[in-house]
Structure 1
Amino acid sequence: MPEIDKNENAVTILTIAKMANVSHTTVSRALNGSSLVKPATRDKITKIAKQVGYVPNLSAKRLVTNRSYMIGIFFTNLDTGTSASFLTEVIEQAQGLLPKGYSLSINSVDNAMDEQGISVSNFDGIIVISQSASDDEFIEYLHKTGIPIVVLNRVINRNDINNYAVGDELGGKIATEYAIRMGHRKFALIKGLNKFESSAHRTKGFMDALDAHDIKVDSGLVKQGDYQPKSGNILMRQILSGGDIPSCVICENDDMALGALNACIELGYQVPRDISIIGFDDMGYSKYLVPPLTTVRKPTSTIIGMGVSRLVEMMDNKQHDDIEQKVVNPEIIVRSSVLDMNKIHFSSK
């Protein structure tokens, strides 16, 4: 192979074409993974490109393909309600599943609506991580533009957009039912952000489970949080400072459960000996807490996978006559933060 200057400006598609004895069109197609190029030729071109240190000109590629290679991810609100751990998990999952070369642009629906709309031409597709019905106006705007869009996390009340959501009500129910099976009858609840539908659904699941077992909860033990660790800490302090301490506290996400757990440690309570705690989400850190947190595993990776897969198909012009709308159910993950009251009752007899 002849010597060649590996300067970024010197190595071009024309350089590789000359070395491989093919047309520059063939090189362009091969480097973009086109099936029109024979595998042997594609392998030869890829090998040469690597050897000479070819760096693609993304601006030129965007002009040729008419793509921005940018995906927009919009959360309802980034200032309140969206925990840092959930934000990080969504971004990591989406980036790992997108085709090579794509970048993510993270923003909030609130910001997009405050500005004079967004320029959809900046994106090849958009993922809306919807947490509130307040997103519906933005979703309708995007739908009218015709840009590929998927809505994740929340069930939307329409049948013309691909939608992958979480069974939050079932999650609240199974968490509470597990605690009841463990012999708990006195509960407290630390709720999520009031305007987020996930909190309303999780609360309903909690209340339905109690009603099914004819268990009452003191209204003073139902606290309004905001999905952040600080609110979990403050509200757990209020619960522990009251005269009527529950045996089990259910938190509507793991971040608030983390704050609640720290409040117990700071006030001298042992979990689960003195009080039990259940979270929701099964964030990566939850199994490393002391004690490891019993929680509801939110199928975030599953709905992100479904959403990204469908979005990529839409961007590749693989149209579907059918619209996918699925609700993926969560599951209880049992660890060590819930005391089995049945064993205590049995041993005391």
Structure 2
Amino acid sequence: MKNPEKSSVTIRTIAEMANVSHTTVSRALNGSPLVKPDTRKKIAEIAKEIGYVPNINAKSLVMNRSYMIGIFFTNLDTGTSASFLTEVMQQSQTTLPNSYSLSVNSIDNVMTDQGILMKNFDGILVLSQSPTDDEFIDYIHEMGLPLVVLNRKIGRKDITNYAPNDFVGAKNVVEYAIRMGHTKFGLIKGIKSFESSKQRSEGFFEAINAHDIQIDPNFVKRGDYRPESGNRLMRQILSSGEVPTCVFCENDDMAIGAINACIELGYRVPEDVSFIGYDDMSYSQYMTPPLTTVRKPTSLIIQKGVASLMAILEDGESKKITQQVIDPEIIVRSSVVNRIKE
């Protein structure tokens, strides 16, 4: 292949050599999921061979882009666990084209600090956990910024939205514990204002009530999704005079704290107290015992969200609205003992 002079190399040069459109070349060089992997590879090889070097600064000026994507959580100070934040960021970095950068922000900060300028972002991903985010979502939508809302099902139908079905996940995993012979349950809830906690609690009680199981009020506590609250609240449950045979913690982080409380107080897990978590964080399979939990489809939700945002940015597909609620998966490990054998 004859190489053109480097000074004359442009995207159109690559397009002619690859026999594709210059738009396809631009997308491929940006790592767009809209271009087939084989085509991306071919274009990357040609670009490397002829010495093409993109000028990001010039491209930003010409296209009036910052190449910055804003990821906004409901609140980074409370409620957003470190493990969930890490998983979201890792998956976003993996899925987003290489030319883009990420900026992590808290919705609470934006609504009180006007120093965060929305116009600095090409697009916005909202990891929504509460209906209190609706004001911010409305604000971004009215600005006309490309927007995708993830993690919570929203009421409006004119914004692309991907969310997990936490109600079904909680209901199914508690029904599994009931089939294992458990009838004496404890519950450590998440933050009251969060939709995830609401759905998981409703799923828990749906399964319990369907089997006419009564719950001791002393076994139901409200946490904040952090390990410290799981530990503290489990100590309260154990000091109530009775001990549940199975405790459902509404996320894995609280389950870690609760299990440690049992071990510290001399209870065997799962023989004396079994545990169920939620989210299936990366560490869950390495806990002692490995944690039975619900695998929240966070990676899939992020992949779909980033791909949809890129489609809006690159093709202007803002009118193509996709809304999907994705069922989670039950992950059975050894933290729930089979009491039927007893």
Fold match by TM threshold 0.5? yes
Which of 129, 134, 137 is the matching residue for 2:135? 137
For structure 2, the 5+ residue unaligned runs are 26-38
SS of the counterpart of 2:248? strand
> 1:139 offset after TM fit, Å?
0.1
2:259 to 235, 258, 261: 261
Give the deviation of 1:306 after TM superposition: 1.1
Alignment of 1:96-107 (within 5 A): 96-107=94-105
SS of 2:72 mapped into structure 1: strand
Q: Could you say which residue in structure 2 is the equivalent of 1:197?
A: 195
Instruction: Give me the CA root mean square deviation.
Output: 2.4
Cα offsets for 1:148-189 (capped at 9, x unmatched): 100001011111100101111111211211110000000100
The residue aligned with 1:176 is: 174
Aligned to 1:246: 244
Q: Distance in 1 between matches of 2:236 and 2:229?
A: 11
Shift of 1:338: 0.3
Q: Distance in 2 between matches of 1:35 and 1:262?
A: 59
**Equivalent residue, structure 1, for 2:21:** 35
Q: Which residue of 1 aligns with 2:280?
A: 282
Residues 270 and 97 (structure 1 numbering): CA distance in 2 closer, same or farther, change over 3 Å?
same
Which residue number in structure 2 is paired with residue 8 of structure 1? Answer: none
Give the deviation of 1:27 after TM superposition: 6.0
- Asked if the contact 1:27/1:45 (under 8 Å) is kept, the reply is no
Q: Deviations over 1:186-231 (max 9, x none)?
A: 0100000111111011101111111100011011110000000000
Question: Is 1:296 matched up with 2:294?
Answer: yes
What is the match of residue 163 of structure 2? 165
1:343 alignment partner, SS class: coil
Looking at structure 2, the residues matched to 108 and 90 of structure 1 have their Cα atoms a distance apart, in angstroms, of 14
The answer (yes or no) to whether the contact 2:14–2:47 under 8 Å persists in 1 is no
- Is 1:126 the counterpart of 2:124? The answer is yes
Per-residue deviation at 1:41?
A: 8.9
Is residue 72–residue 125 contact of structure 2 (8 Å, CA) maintained in 1? yes
TM-score, normalised with respect to structure 2: 0.88
How far the C-alpha of 1:319 sits from its partner, in A, is: 1.6
Instruction: Describe the superposition over 1:232-264 as per-residue Cα deviations: whole angstroms up to 9, x where unpaired.
Output: 011111111221100000000000001111111
The aligned runs of 1:64-103 (5 Å cut-off) are: 64-103=62-101
Q: Secondary structure at the match of 1:81?
A: coil
Whether 1:46 and 2:48 are equivalent positions in the alignment is: yes
* Maintained 8 Å contact 2:14/2:43: no
Q: Percent identity?
A: 58
Q: CA–CA distance in 2 between the matches of 1:289 and 1:303?
A: 25
What is the match of residue 108 of structure 1? 106
- Structure 1 distance, partners of 2:298, 2:288, is 24
Q: Aligned partners of 1:272 and 1:44: how far apart in 2?
A: 58
Counterpart AA for 1:240 = L
CA offsets 1:30-74 (integer angstroms, 9 cap, x no match): 9xx983399989755422427xxx5x5432221123211111000
Farther off after superposition, 109-118 or 80-89: 109-118
Q: Residue in 2 aligned with 1:337?
A: 335
Deviates more, 1:108-117 or 1:130-139: 108-117
| Distance in 1 (alpha carbons) for counterparts of 2:46 and 2:337 | 63
Distance 1:335 1:24, change over 3 A: closer
- 2:8 is the alignment partner of 1:18: no
Q: Is the 8 A contact 1:174 1:331 kept in 2?
A: no
Alignment of 1:312-331 (within 5 A): 312-319=310-317, 321-331=319-329
Relative to structure 1, the CA distance from residue 19 to residue 304 in structure 2 (aligned partners, 3 Å threshold; closer, same or farther) is: closer
Find the counterpart in structure 2 of residue 4 from structure 1: none
Shift in alpha-carbon separation, 1:117–1:324, aligned structure 2, 3 A = farther
1:44/1:297 CA distance change after superposition, 3 Å: closer
Residue 153 of structure 2, aligned match among 149, 152, 155: 155
User: Could you say which structure has the larger radius of gyration?
Assistant: 1
Unaligned 5+ runs, structure 1: 1-15, 345-349
